[in-house]
Amino acid sequence: MTDKINIEVVYALPHEQTLLKKSLPEGATLMEGILASGLLDKHPGIDLSTHKLGIFGKLAKPDTVLRDKDRIEIYRPLIADPKEVRRKRAEEGKAMKKGGGEA
């Protein structure tokens, strides 16, 4: 009898989150977990050659061996640079504070 591990595979779009649970043989890899989960059938737009992968928020390679209760995450490419967004928000905040307006 081979030992099994339980994993979750998650993928989030702006208005939809998918979490799939799967039981795999011990020694399964991150890529095997994704393929076994059926997530690629549910979201055919996922391109594993461009999307980054991780386990619990830490980047991981497709050949990473999974452990029991691991959560595989598939990350979408960023639409905007977070540093640029923060910089613009800070500039807008300064502009609002400068003008006291008429009392």
Domain contains 103: no
Strand blocks (E) in 1-98 = 4-13, 16-25, 52-55, 58-59, 71-75
Contact in structure between 20 and 12 (CB atoms under 8 Å) = no
Domain contains 78: yes
CATH of residue 71's domain is: 3.10.20.30
* pTM tops 0.75, yes or no: no
**DSSP H helices in the chain:** 30-37, 39-42, 82-98
Q: What is the pLDDT of residue 82?
A: 73
Tens of each residue's pLDDT in the chain, 103 residues: 569 999 999 999 888 999 999 999 999 999 999 999 999 999 998 988 889 999 999 999 999 999 999 999 999 877 767 787 788 888 887 766 655 555 5
Contact in structure between 70 and 53 (CB atoms under 8 Å) = no
Our count of domains for the chain comes to: 1
Q: What is the pLDDT of residue 59?
A: 94
Domain contains 60: yes
Domain contains 21: yes
Distances (CA, A) of 64 to 15, 34, 44: 29, 12, 23
Domain assignment of residue 69, given as a range: 4-98
